[in-house]
């Protein structure tokens, strides 16, 4: 049997667009700029929907965040009353207002010292200071106590599994922590309680954060927070023969779904044909896109409240 012996079939978005328009009934030679712009928009909206519809295993990765970390300052500005320091906005602490931070190594030197946080956001912290002027020499931010909230990459769709590594005894011991809702976190009477974290709250803002509870104890507390997340699928572009960030098993589903969306604009009469084909192709791909593992469901027989 003569076969190709290759596994390289991975058409570009341009090739998939041509095929989708063929399904719609538009010939390649009839395509105009407006056809291609509609295809680019439809492709990215389709990928947005797929990010919403479920866990795309090819877009799952692992993030490791040091719980106790010295943050490198990348910018500074002051008004003579308030000073703001900026730093990397992903996987870094979000300092709680009212707590103290220690700034060292910065020039102008007026930014250095122990300061009480007035406000904070992912990638920035503000405190009272008479200093003005921009950053000349970068320094670091230290926190006398551990921080419980950390910034999250805005491309994160959802956090799946998370665990905290306890390295205080010299051995790295991973302990699973569980997700809670905003309501559950709000119900905790002492949000500053110190201990080994057992739960996390993923605050899904435009600049998202993850908060651990109890607040990791210090010094010599847990070393890292590790979590698996679903990230958004990369943008689809027609330039430079770019390919779509989907695996081989999802290409048919993508082509049919793209054709369905383009038919809504250019050939509405073909929707009754294309929509069942797109739905079936998606269902087949989604059923394959799972982890092959046993699942056990059992009642919790022990009492929860004590």
pLDDT in the model for residue 300: 62
DSSP 8-state class, residue 110 = G
pLDDT in the model for residue 170: 72
Asked if residue 225 lies in contact with residue 65, where contact means CB atoms within 8 angstroms, the answer is yes
Would you call 85 helix, strand, or coil by DSSP? strand
Asked if residue 56 lies in contact with residue 102, where contact means CB atoms within 8 angstroms, the answer is no
In 79-200, alpha helices (H): 182-187
pLDDT in tens, the chain (306 residues): 889 999 999 999 999 999 999 999 999 999 999 999 999 999 999 999 999 998 899 999 999 999 999 999 999 999 999 999 999 999 999 999 999 999 999 999 999 999 999 999 999 999 999 999 999 999 999 988 889 999 999 999 999 999 999 887 777 889 999 999 999 999 999 999 999 999 999 999 999 999 999 999 866 667 899 999 999 999 999 999 999 999 999 999 999 999 999 999 999 999 999 999 999 999 999 999 988 877 777 776 655 554
pLDDT in the model for residue 225: 96
In 124-270, alpha helices (H): 182-187, 251-266
Domain boundaries, the chain: 13-56+234-287, 59-66+149-231, 71-142
- What strands, in cross-sheet order, belong to the sheet with 224-231? 60-66, 224-231, 156-166, 173-180, 199-203, 209-213, 149-151
In 107-250, alpha helices (H): 182-187
pLDDT in the model for residue 222: 77
| Strand 100-104 versus strand 113-121 pairing type | antiparallel
pLDDT in the model for residue 219: 62
212 backbone dihedrals φ, ψ, rounded to 5°: -95, 145
Would you call 74 helix, strand, or coil by DSSP? strand
For residue 280, is it left (φ>0), alpha (ψ between -120 and 50) or beta? alpha
Nearest-5° Cα angle at 209, 78 to 105: 35
pLDDT in the model for residue 254: 97
In the chain, alpha helices (H): 13-24, 33-53, 182-187, 251-266, 271-288
């Amino acid at each position: 049997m003569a076969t190709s012996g290759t596994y390289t079939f991975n058409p570009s978005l341009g090739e998939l667009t041509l095929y989708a328009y063929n399904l719609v009934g538009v010939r390649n030679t009839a395509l105009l700029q407006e056809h291609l712009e509609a295809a680019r928009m439809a492709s990215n909206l389709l990928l947005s929907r797929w990010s919403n519809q479920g866990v795309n295993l090819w877009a799952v990765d692992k993030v490791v965040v040091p719980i106790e970390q010295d943050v490198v300052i990348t910018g500074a500005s002051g008004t003579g009353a308030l000073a703001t320091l900026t730093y990397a906005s992903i996987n870094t602490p979000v300092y709680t207002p009212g707590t103290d931070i220690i700034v060292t190594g910065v020039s102008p030197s007026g930014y250095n010292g122990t300061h009480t946080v007035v406000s904070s956001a992912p990638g920035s912290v503000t405190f009272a200071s008479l200093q003005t002027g921009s950053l000349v020499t970068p320094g670091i931010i230290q926190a006398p106590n551990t921080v419980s909230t950390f910034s999250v990459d805005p491309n994160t769709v959802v956090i799946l599994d998370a665990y905290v590594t306890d390295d205080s005894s010299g051995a790295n011991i991973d302990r699973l922590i569980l997700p809670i809702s905003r309501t559950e976190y709000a119900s905790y009477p002492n949000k500053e309680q110190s201990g080994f974290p057992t739960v996390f709250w993923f605050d899904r803002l435009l600049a998202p954060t993850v908060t651990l509870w109890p607040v990791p104890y210090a010094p010599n507390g847990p070393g890292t927070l590790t979590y698996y997340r679903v990230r958004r699928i990369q943008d689809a572009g027609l330039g430079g023969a770019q390919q779509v960030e989907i695996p081989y098993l999802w290409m048919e589903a993508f082509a049919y779904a793209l054709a369905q969306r383009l038919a809504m604009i250019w050939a509405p009469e073909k929707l009754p044909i294309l929509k069942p084909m797109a739905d079936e192709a998606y269902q087949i791909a989604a059923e394959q896109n799972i982890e092959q593992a046993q699942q056990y469901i059992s009642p919790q027989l022990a009492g929860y409240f004590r």
